[in-house]
Amino acid sequence: MKEKSVIQAQVHTSSYYAASVGDATDFAPLRGEKSADVCVVGAGFTGVSTALHLAERGYDVHVVEAKKVGWGASGRNGGQLIGGISGERTIAKNIHNDTADVLRNLRWGGHDIIRERVATYGIQCDLKFGYLDVAIRTRHLRDFRSEYERLQRESFPHKVEILSKDVTCELIGTNAYVGALLNMGNGHLHPLKLCVGEARAAVACGATIYEQSPVVDIQKGDKAKVVTAQGSVTADAVIIAGNAYHSVEPKLRGVMFPVNSFIIATEPLDDEIVATINPRDLAVCDPNFVLEYFRLSADKRLLFGGRCNYFGDDPKSIEKRLRPKMSKIYPQLATVRIDYAWGGTIGVPVNRVPQLGRLSPNVLYCQGYSGHGVNVTHLAGQIMADAIAGVLERFDLFADIKPVVIPGAYVLSKPMVALGILYHQIKDRL
Ligand SMILES: Cc1cc2nc3c(=O)[nH]c(=O)nc-3n(C[C@H](O)[C@H](O)[C@H](O)COP(=O)(O)OP(=O)(O)OC[C@H]3O[C@@H](n4cnc5c(N)ncnc54)[C@H](O)[C@@H]3O)c2cc1C
């Protein structure tokens, strides 16, 4: 019997991104015994970014992905290129020298890496700059003003501006917000195109990627061994980059909550509608924990996303939950066709600090960026590559902050997350 009929090939979730990526990866599964300098488990932004940093530095790196490049959160997200890093206050307490410089790098370093890669490797990922943090309440405007002042103090090289309610309404055609912070250093992109583009770049630099290869065991030792059903990679070091989808190492499952976020994509909108709802093509996000975010795609669909208490992946149920939220902001879109609806899982640590650490001297992990994944995964990849090269300053900054263990987080994740979302929904309204 041919193997293909036995193994069910994994495909992307049916998102707008999967339908428009234009470059479907089809890397061969891992078969047989291989060896490498470094083996990376998972080919989302963290894994691919790490692999590209390592391959650029001459390491022989093998990436083992259970499904497809960008199959997890990296190929499904809002595509919002947001600055900052979650858990910043806790991180700051652990920085002893040059705090402002270190924090600036952590907040914006990922953006620089993405810009450079898009330029260096000619990655066509619909990258656009321009971003609005919108305020629902006046307290949000106070927070935006502090952020604005901080960016001014830091001589942030891109335009930032506090906008009144009227100007916000002019820019995004809705009265739903009391003002906004415009930041032309943030932006939006097609995340799956970026992830695939970076994977291609990594391979061009010498990396090897295996798809359709779930890792079932990671054996520790002087050399570590990553094992799948059909093969293994023995390596000097292993980096686990499975984030909220990882299930092999129990220690990594119990230190963050798997929180779901969902997105709907409308049909392409008429030019007249686009001119009223987002003529400047800005990405938009509110500051709530149970947040809403939206932007236009390159073909002028509205991609509207949000968190909610739902754990399934049925497109009709997702549409049912998100359409009313979108229509509240844009009543003119109440009857527009929804072409795609999908969701994905984000790893949210209790203290919100991204988790970079070691399970053994040469088995490292990197996960849990909350909603700041697009930029921070790229920086994390660089920090992990530095750690492999023995440059540990930034890695240790994170590794020294011990993750808060959540008893029952994996087994009881659904009721715990549901309660958490409810709690934050109430807090968001205060
Ligand atoms: C709907 C949604 C919207 C979001 N919107 C934004 C946004 O607009 N802006 C932003 O900055 N962030 C956003 N995020 C968060 C961001 O997408 C994530 O933080 C980021 O993509 C995490 O990347 P990652 O590579 O660490 O994990 P993932 O992309 O989840 O990748 C993990 C990979 O590891 C693989 N894997 C797991 N276990 C194994 C195993 N045993 N063997 C082999 N492979 C394995 C998985 O198959 C997967 O491909 C959003 C997330 C979601 C779900």
| Structural domains for the chain | 10-76+192-255+350-413 (3.50.50.60)
Q: Tell me, rounded to whole angstroms, the distance of Cα 289 from its chain centroid.
A: 16
Closest CA to 400 of 85, 109, 91, 88: 91
CA-215 nearest atom, ligand 1: 42
Give the span between the Cα atoms of 138 and 198, in whole angstroms. 40
| CA-based torsion, 25, 29, 34, 38: positive or negative | positive
Within 13 Å and on the Cβ side, how many CA atoms surround 187?
A: 20
Counting ligand 1 atoms within 8 A of each CB, the residue from 290, 291, 346, 363 with the most, and so the one to mutate, is 346
Beta-carbon count within 10 A of 116 CB: 11
Name which residue leads in pLDDT, 410 or 381. 381
Within 13 Å and on the Cβ side, how many CA atoms surround 249?
A: 24
Q: What is the pLDDT of residue 410?
A: 65
Read off the pLDDT of each residue in 285-304 and give the average, rounded to a whole number: 95
74-83 exposure pattern, b = at least 16 Cβ within 10 A, e = fewer: bbbbbbbbbb
Give the span between the Cα atoms of 169 and 199, in whole angstroms. 39
Instruction: Summarize pLDDT for 110-154 with one digit per residue, the tens.
Output: 999 999 999 999 999 999 999 999 999 999 999 999 999 999 999
Q: Burial, 143: exposed, middle or buried (Cβ in 10 Å; 0-12, 13-18, 19+)? A: middle
Instruction: Summarize pLDDT for 301-311 with one digit per residue, the tens.
Output: 999 999 777 77
Within 13 Å and on the Cβ side, how many CA atoms surround 70?
A: 26
Q: What is the pLDDT of residue 229?
A: 97
Closest CA to 298 of 126, 171, 132, 128: 126
Question: Do residues 10 and 71 lie in contact, with contact meaning Cβ atoms separated by under 8 Å?
Answer: yes
Closest residue to atom 9 of ligand 1, CA basis: 80
Distance 415 CA to ligand 1 centre (A): 22
DSSP-derived 3-state class of residue 268: coil
**Segment holding 286, helix H or strand E:** none
Question: Do residues 317 and 262 lie in contact, with contact meaning Cβ atoms separated by under 8 Å?
Answer: no
This prediction has a pTM of 0.95
Give the span between the Cα atoms of 354 and 340, in whole angstroms. 30
Counting ligand 1 atoms within 8 A of each CB, the residue from 227, 359, 374, 398 with the most, and so the one to mutate, is 374
Q: Is the pLDDT of residue 7 over 60?
A: no
**Is any atom of ligand 1 closer than 6 Å to the C-beta of 210?**
no
Task: Encode 151-199 in three state secondary structure.
Answer: HHHCCCCCCEEEECHHHHHHHHCCCCCCEEEEEEEEEECCHHHHHHHHH
Instruction: Provide the residue type at 384 as one letter.
Output: M
Distance 43 CA to ligand 1 centre (A): 9
Instruction: Summarize pLDDT for 371-405 with one digit per residue, the tens.
Output: 889 999 999 999 999 999 999 999 999 999 998 88
Reported confidence tier of residue 3, pLDDT bands at 50, 70, 90: very low
Q: Is the pLDDT of residue 285 over 50?
A: yes
Report phi then psi at 240, rounded to 5: -95, 120
**Is any atom of ligand 1 closer than 6 Å to the C-beta of 64?**
yes
Within 13 Å and on the Cβ side, how many CA atoms surround 282?
A: 25
Reported confidence tier of residue 183, pLDDT bands at 50, 70, 90: very high
**Is any atom of ligand 1 closer than 6 Å to the C-beta of 306?**
no
Q: What is the pLDDT of residue 6?
A: 47
Give the span between the Cα atoms of 169 and 226, in whole angstroms. 53
Q: Say which residues have a Cβ less than 8 Å from residue 279's Cβ, sequence separation at least 6.
A: 171
Q: Say which residues have a Cβ less than 8 Å from residue 182's Cβ, sequence separation at least 6.
A: 130, 131, 132, 159, 160, 161, 162, 163, 171, 282
Question: Do residues 113 and 52 lie in contact, with contact meaning Cβ atoms separated by under 8 Å?
Answer: no
Distance 272 CA to ligand 1 centre (A): 35
Closest CA to 394 of 38, 49, 97, 47: 97
Instruction: Summarize pLDDT for 18-67 with one digit per residue, the tens.
Output: 999 999 899 999 999 999 999 999 999 999 999 999 999 999 999 999 99
